[in-house]
Structure 1
C-alpha cells in the first residue's frame, strides 16, 4: 500500500527540483570529502604497514646516551662502542648482528649536487637485508651501492662516479664507483633509508669519516620472529644492566607509532571534510523551512481533516530523507571515482583501494550524509506538525 505522505514529499521535491538539487549538492560534496579522505588515509596506513612488515624480524639498537671518548684527543661520541657491541652479540644468541655506520652528506654526480645518507656496512652483511637490483655487491675499496631513488633522480648506471662531500676547490674529494643499484624498498622499519642511500664498505667509511670502533646503529636479524620479545629482554638485561645506554625498538613498535600518527592525521582531515556537511546541513534546513512556509495552507487543510501530527512530521522527514538519499547516492558514486584518483595520485598505487578496509568509507560517508539531512529536517517537521489549523488556513 502506497504512503500518500511519501507521494506528497516526492511531489514537493519535484516541484522545487532546482532548489532541492542545489541543496543535495552540499551533501554530495560532504560525502565525497569524508569518503575520499578516509580511503586515502587507510591506503596510506596499509601501504606503510605492508612495507614495515617486511622487516618485522629486525630489532634496531641505537645509543641512548652521549659518551666522552677516553682517547688522547678527547671527543664526544654518540654511538654503540665495542664493549656494548660485544654484550649485544653475546645476548643475541644465534641471531645475526649487523653493525651500521651512517652520516648525512652532500655528494656530486657529474655536475649535479645532491644530499643523501652514506651507510658503512660490512659487504657480507648487505645481502642479509638489502636486495641488489642491478650490478653486484661491493668488491673493491671504492665500490658503492646506490638506492633506487638516487639512481633514478640522477640517471645513474653501473660504473657511474660519485664525489662525496661538499664541493670545495681546495679539498680533494673521495670518489666512489657505482657497483650496484639497490631495489626500491620504500619505508623500512630497520632504520636504513636505502632508497636515498649510498652504501659503502665499513672500512671505506671509517677511513673517510672516522668512528672506527663506534657504531651509529646495530641491527639484530632474528631467525625466528617469535623470539623477538625474549631477544629484546636478553639484550636489555645484558647491555642496560646498570643504566639505559641503548634504545631498543622493532617493527611492531615503529609500526604502531606510525599507523597511530597516520590514523590521527586521517581523522583530522576527515573532520575538515565534514565541515562541508555542516554547510550542507544549513542548506537543507533552509530548504525545509522554505518548504514549510510555502505549504502552510496545505498543512492547515491536512490538520483540519484529521491528519495526525505524526503523519505531517513524517511527510517533511520524507522530504529531507529524499534529499539525503539523492546526495548520498550521487556522492557515493563520485567518491569511488574521485577516491581512486586521489589514492593513485598521492600514493602511486591502488593495490589496497579495493580492500574492505578502504571501501567501507563510502557507505560510512553516505550514511553520515543521510543522517545529516534527516536531522536538519527535524525542526521544520516539528514546526509544521504543531501549527494551528485555523491560523494555517488563514495564511495567504
Structure 2
C-alpha cells in the first residue's frame, strides 16, 4: 500500500511525461469555461442594464380606454392610445377625477392628450407625435436639456431624436397640421428634452410636447383624454392601485384598461434570461467536446501504463489507490484548465460585455462575476466524471495479465 502523496506524485508525473497531450486536453476545458462564463456574464450584464433602464418606469400605471383587446399593449402614439375621436376611445374628466381620488394617497395622476400629425419644418415634411400636457406636469416629469419649458400656447419642447433628425434648434418654427385638410398651427421650439429612452407612459424622444391649451386649440376634445398616467410612490402599492382603479371604473362594464409597467419589465428581463440560458447551452457543447478529449487521453494513459499498473499491484498497491491515481490525473487536467479558463474568462468576458452591452458598469456585480466560479466548477467536474471509467478500468486490471503486457 502506498501513501496519498505518492499517488498524487505518480499522477503529476504522468501529466509531465505527456505534457503536450495533457495541454491539448486541458485547452478544451479552458475554451469551455471561457465560453460559458463570458456568455453568462454578458447575459447578466444585459439583464442588469435593462432592469436599471426600466426601473424608473416600474412604478407607473397607464390607464387607457377599453378597446376590447383584453388588456393588451396599446399601439397609439402615447403608448396608450391614439388621438381623440369619440367618447368611446377617450377618458372623460369624471373618470380622471375618480382616478385622482383613488391615487391621492398612493401617488399622483395626470392626463395625457396625444395625436400623430403631419409637421412641416422649413421645406421638409414628416410626421410626429404631438402631446398635450398640463404645464406643471411638463415641468415635473420632463427634463429640459437646453432651453426652457413652454410658457404659452405657441411654444413647445421637442424630443432629442426629433431635434437631431430634423435639425431643430431653440427658436425653430414647426407647422403642425396638413394644409390640404385645413389650417395649420405654427409653434416655436423653446426647449430640447433630455433623452428618455424606452418608456411605456410617454415616448417623448420623437415627439413635440406642448400645453393642454395648445393641444385642444388644434384638435379640440376639451374634457377628453387619450390616457391617464399614474405614478405610485411605493412600488409595493402598484397592485393595490391597479385593482382599485379597475374595480371602480369597470364596475358595470369594462371602460378602461390598466397596464402595469412592472410586468413589461419582468417580461423583458425574462426574455433576456431565456436567451442567455439558450446560448450558454450551446456554449456548453464545447465542454462536451473537451470531455471526449479528456476521456480519450485517460484511456490512452491507462493503455500505455498497463505494465506499470501490474507492477504497482504486485507490490501491494490497492485497487482504490490505482483508482485515485487516475482520478487525480483527470482532476489535475480539469483544475489547470478551469483555473486558466477562469482567468481568461475575466479578460475576454470584460471585452465581450463592453462590446455587446456597451457598458461594463455591472461586470463585477455578484450575479455577473459569479459565472466565473460556476463555469470553473463545471469544467473541473466534467474532467473528474470523465476520468472515472478509465480509472475504474485501470483499477480492475488483473495484475498477472498486466505484468505480461508489453
Fold match, TM over 0.5? yes
- Tell me, in whole angstroms, the C-alpha distance in 1 between the residues paired with 2:58 and 2:324: 56
Query: Which is worse superposed, 327-336 or 115-124?
Result: 115-124
Query: Which is worse superposed, 42-51 or 106-115?
Result: 106-115
Residue 139 (structure 1) aligns with: 151
SS at match of 2:230: strand
Q: Does 1:339 align with 2:341?
A: no
Q: Does 1:318 align with 2:328?
A: yes
Are residues 103 and 338 of structure 1, via their aligned partners in 2, closer, same or farther at CA, if it must alter by over 3 Å? farther
Residue 70 (structure 1) aligns with: none
Cα RMSD (Å): 3.4
Query: Which is worse superposed, 214-223 or 29-38?
Result: 214-223
Are residues 327 and 99 of structure 1, via their aligned partners in 2, closer, same or farther at CA, if it must alter by over 3 Å? same
1:257 pairs with one of 259, 267, 281: 267
Q: TM-score, normalised by structure 1?
A: 0.83
Residue 45 (structure 2) aligns with: 43
Are residues 283 and 206 of structure 1, via their aligned partners in 2, closer, same or farther at CA, if it must alter by over 3 Å? farther
Query: Which is worse superposed, 229-238 or 101-110?
Result: 101-110
Alignment of 1:345-384 (within 5 A): 345-384=355-394
* Cα pair 2:60 2:201 within 8 Å, conserved: no
Are residues 234 and 170 of structure 1, via their aligned partners in 2, closer, same or farther at CA, if it must alter by over 3 Å? closer
Are residues 32 and 213 of structure 1, via their aligned partners in 2, closer, same or farther at CA, if it must alter by over 3 Å? farther
- Tell me, in whole angstroms, the C-alpha distance in 2 between the residues paired with 1:270 and 1:351: 22
Name stretches of at least 5 consecutive residues in structure 1 with no aligned partner.
68-73
SS at match of 1:3: helix
1:122 pairs with one of 131, 134, 150: 134
Q: TM-score, normalised by structure 2?
A: 0.81
* Cα pair 2:87 2:224 within 8 Å, conserved: no
Query: Which is worse superposed, 144-153 or 22-31?
Result: 144-153
Residue 270 (structure 1) aligns with: 280
SS at match of 1:218: strand
* Cα pair 1:239 1:245 within 8 Å, conserved: yes
* Cα pair 1:66 1:77 within 8 Å, conserved: no
* Cα pair 1:53 1:251 within 8 Å, conserved: no
Deviation digits for residues 38-81 of structure 1 (CA, Å, limit 9, x no counterpart): 222222222222233334443222333259xxxxxx97964534
Residue 191 (structure 2) aligns with: 180
Query: Which is worse superposed, 75-84 or 310-319?
Result: 75-84
Residue 13 (structure 2) aligns with: 11
SS at match of 2:135: coil
1:52 pairs with one of 33, 51, 54: 54
Are residues 333 and 85 of structure 1, via their aligned partners in 2, closer, same or farther at CA, if it must alter by over 3 Å? same
Deviation digits for residues 236-274 of structure 1 (CA, Å, limit 9, x no counterpart): 221111233323234443333332222222222222221
Q: Does 1:296 align with 2:301?
A: no
- Tell me, in whole angstroms, the C-alpha distance in 2 between the residues paired with 1:117 and 1:279: 54
Deviation digits for residues 195-237 of structure 1 (CA, Å, limit 9, x no counterpart): 4444344455566677666544311123555644443332122
SS at match of 1:191: coil
How many residues are treated as equivalent by the alignment?
A: 388
Deviation at 1:86, TM superposition (A): 3.9
Residue 91 (structure 2) aligns with: 80
- Tell me, in whole angstroms, the C-alpha distance in 1 between the residues paired with 2:36 and 2:118: 42
Deviation at 1:288, TM superposition (A): 1.5
SS at match of 1:255: helix
Q: Does 1:28 align with 2:35?
A: no
Are residues 121 and 323 of structure 1, via their aligned partners in 2, closer, same or farther at CA, if it must alter by over 3 Å? same
Deviation at 1:148, TM superposition (A): 3.8
